[in-house]
Chains A and B, each alone.
Chain A
């Protein structure tokens, strides 16, 4: 078997994403520590993050409803593999907790980091609360992570 051929290539490429109108409003809300979901007029499901269309009913969504920054931990994991944080360009140290959080007022879950990385202290069903950054930019990481409530 021959050795792999190594060809050193360096390519830079960036994309200019247009945020859907719903996501733009969601992000604007974050800048004011406000979280909103979109409710389907057909089945009533409240989508967070907001989606342009209900996947169940295929109806466009336009009914905004308020959501709390507290909720229930629906799933959790602790990751032990360091990752390159695309927002900072620096390695994110491991281990770190990651969870699916269903905020009060929403029917879907939000994927986010958890303050807690000790598996012994994490459990599905725990109450969690958003920990906001001091400086808000209108992005999902305006929430630093979710912390488990006592």
Chain B
């Protein structure tokens, strides 16, 4: 594996969000516009300052082929080079960073959106699985997560209670927008939805948009490490008990940042974990210890939306660095069945 440092510094200049809510009555362009305008205001820039745009959206969720066409104007992509990433917002940010690091552009807007209230999200994920040998079974991403959790819980009788404790802790730290069971006992009594996962162990999904302005010009937060990885799509071709893709993505990000992955002094970690067992896999793949602050605001358990999750973690990590809560922070994004795709960003303070 080889990975060199970014050829040009990349900074996080602006952050804007349409915060996750269970059901946003607005149209997707209206949600997205709120995030973009907030990011521009935060960056103190105008649309004429933006050279290029990278968007993240998924056609199936939007019920629209080429889902970026509905937001072309609001993401400020008219007469600009736009790239659409159909996986995860953090992957979009890393592609935008590559555009800046290459010298192609000086300022790139990154936007991710998803509105799960539009349709049956888990039902839609069936379409993202193999049409011949998985779709006929009716399996969806939730079933994949259940399979993964079941493998991890095998021979570990304390797993369920441990996961309930993690979920309860994250929910307590969240903002309470989503009304969901929050104590350990409530979570353990919540309905089983994909054994051994219970309803209370799942990060609540809703509608959200997030926008970030990346620039070559100096700002308070610098992006120093980037890495991503795609594992086999077929569940049967992976050891589901491990996120090997994350391990590789993390190693690449550390190499780009010029850091030793075993001795990374990271103060703040913002992982994209939709279930508590994923948090355990995250810790194992990155060897992030207990010293780092992890999801202080509840992470995805405060409410999230697929596609947006990773970019919102990036925004949270950048806010932590900007506020002086961390000198170095890690943001993580994951997508696909049982975390097939993985992305890591390392942020640090200062120019």
| A13-B120 Cα distance, complex, nearest whole Å | 8
A58 touches B118 (CB 8 A): no
Q: Is B26 an interface residue (CB 8 A)?
A: yes
* Shortest Cβ gap from A120 to chain B (Å): 34
List residues of chain A with CB within 8 A of the CB of B186.
Answer: none
Q: Is A2 an interface residue (CB 8 A)?
A: no
10 tightest CB-CB pairs across the interface, nearest first?
A55-B78, A15-B63, A58-B47, A20-B27, A55-B73, A53-B73, A18-B27, A15-B119, A15-B118, A53-B74
Q: Is B1 an interface residue (CB 8 A)?
A: no
A61 and chain B: residue at smallest CB distance = B73
List residues of chain A with CB within 8 A of the CB of B25.
Answer: 18
Tell me the A residues contacting B by CB distance below 8 Å: 5, 7, 9, 11, 13-21, 23, 51-58, 60
Q: Which of B100-108, B121-129, B263-271 contacts the other chain? A: B121-129
List residues of chain B with CB within 8 A of the CB of A54.
Answer: 73
State whether A13 and B27 are in contact (beta carbons under 8 Å apart), knowing that A7-B132, A53-B74 are contacts in the complex: no
A54 and chain B: residue at smallest CB distance = B73
* Shortest Cβ gap from B81 to chain A (Å): 14
B33 touches A53 (CB 8 A): yes
State whether A21 and B78 are in contact (beta carbons under 8 Å apart), knowing that A14-B119, A51-B73 are contacts in the complex: no
List residues of chain A with CB within 8 A of the CB of B74.
Answer: 52-53
Q: Count of B residues near A, CB < 8 Å?
A: 29
List residues of chain A with CB within 8 A of the CB of B30.
Answer: 20-21, 52
List residues of chain A with CB within 8 A of the CB of B63.
Answer: 13, 15, 17
| A60-B30 Cα distance, complex, nearest whole Å | 10
State whether A52 and B123 are in contact (beta carbons under 8 Å apart), knowing that A7-B131, A19-B27, A58-B73 are contacts in the complex: no
B76 touches A16 (CB 8 A): no
Q: Name the one of A13, A56, A57 contacting B119, with C-beta atoms under 8 angstroms.
A: A13
Restricting to B159-180, which residues have a CB under 8 Å from any CB of A?
A: none
Tell me the B residues contacting A by CB distance below 8 Å: 24-30, 33, 47, 62-63, 72-74, 76, 78-79, 117-120, 123-124, 126-127, 131-132, 135-136
| A14-B78 Cα distance, complex, nearest whole Å | 30
| A11-B136 Cα distance, complex, nearest whole Å | 10
Identify 17 residue pairs between A and B in the complex whose beta-carbon atoms are under 8 Å apart, listed by A's number: A7-B131, A7-B132, A9-B131, A9-B135, A9-B136, A11-B126, A13-B63, A15-B62, A15-B118, A18-B24, A23-B27, A52-B29, A53-B29, A55-B73, A56-B79, A58-B47, A58-B76
| A5-B30 Cα distance, complex, nearest whole Å | 43
| A51-B72 Cα distance, complex, nearest whole Å | 11
* Shortest Cβ gap from A47 to chain B (Å): 9
| A17-B30 Cα distance, complex, nearest whole Å | 13
List residues of chain B with CB within 8 A of the CB of A60.
Answer: 33
B33 touches A52 (CB 8 A): yes
| A65-B135 Cα distance, complex, nearest whole Å | 50
| A75-B131 Cα distance, complex, nearest whole Å | 40
* Shortest Cβ gap from B329 to chain A (Å): 30
List residues of chain B with CB within 8 A of the CB of A17.
Answer: 27, 63, 118
A13 touches B123 (CB 8 A): yes
List residues of chain A with CB within 8 A of the CB of B123.
Answer: 11, 13
* Shortest Cβ gap from A108 to chain B (Å): 12
* Shortest Cβ gap from B44 to chain A (Å): 15
| A52-B27 Cα distance, complex, nearest whole Å | 10
A9 and chain B: residue at smallest CB distance = B135
State whether A13 and B124 are in contact (beta carbons under 8 Å apart), knowing that A53-B73, A55-B72 are contacts in the complex: yes
List residues of chain B with CB within 8 A of the CB of A11.
Answer: 123, 126-127
B117 and chain A: residue at smallest CB distance = A16
| A63-B28 Cα distance, complex, nearest whole Å | 21
Beyond A9-B136, A52-B73: 9 further Cβ-contacts under 8 Å?
A: A9-B131, A11-B123, A11-B126, A13-B123, A18-B24, A51-B73, A52-B33, A57-B47, A58-B47
List residues of chain A with CB within 8 A of the CB of B79.
Answer: 55-56
List residues of chain A with CB within 8 A of the CB of B126.
Answer: 11
Q: Name the one of A5, A7, A9, A56 contacting B78, with C-beta atoms under 8 angstroms.
A: A56
* Shortest Cβ gap from A139 to chain B (Å): 16
* Shortest Cβ gap from A20 to chain B (Å): 4
